[in-house]
Amino acid sequence: MTFNIDITSDLDALIARMEAAPLKYQNQAAPVLSALMAYIVRLERSIMHEKTGRMIRSTYPEGPFSVGEGTLEGTVGPHVDYAHFEIERGGTHDFLAQTVEQMEPLLKAAQEQLERVLIEVVS
């Protein structure tokens, strides 16, 4: 009889942890994503060609914002209408491709860090 009560108690605790997990994950993941986004801004600005500086100054992070239970979303990039023309020029003007290429190792590390956060939250 006691065995059943212990299992029920453990299940209740597990259910409570699972119900709290999305918000807890979001709270712990947000600083990781904020730091990643700040790094992307610095990297992207360092790659961009500077003529007037307008595109560089218009590059900033937005977010991360909660868009659902346990889901965060954010964007980084220039907020000028002509940025896509610079990307389309290709080569050294394609700051987006260069940023993505240079971000690869950091993105992998951030993914691993977020996976550890998730495991901690549901454990």
Q: Where are the domains of the chain?
A: 2-122
The pLDDT profile of the chain, 123 residues, written as one tens digit per residue, is: 454 555 556 777 777 777 877 888 888 889 999 999 999 999 999 998 888 889 999 999 999 988 887 788 998 989 999 998 989 999 989 999 999 899 888 888 999 998 998 888 877
Supply the pTM of this predicted model: 0.77
* Distances from the Cα of 56 to the Cα of 52, 69, 90, angstroms: 9, 33, 18
In sequence order, the 6+-apart residues with CB closer than 8 A to the CB of 96 are 44, 77, 87
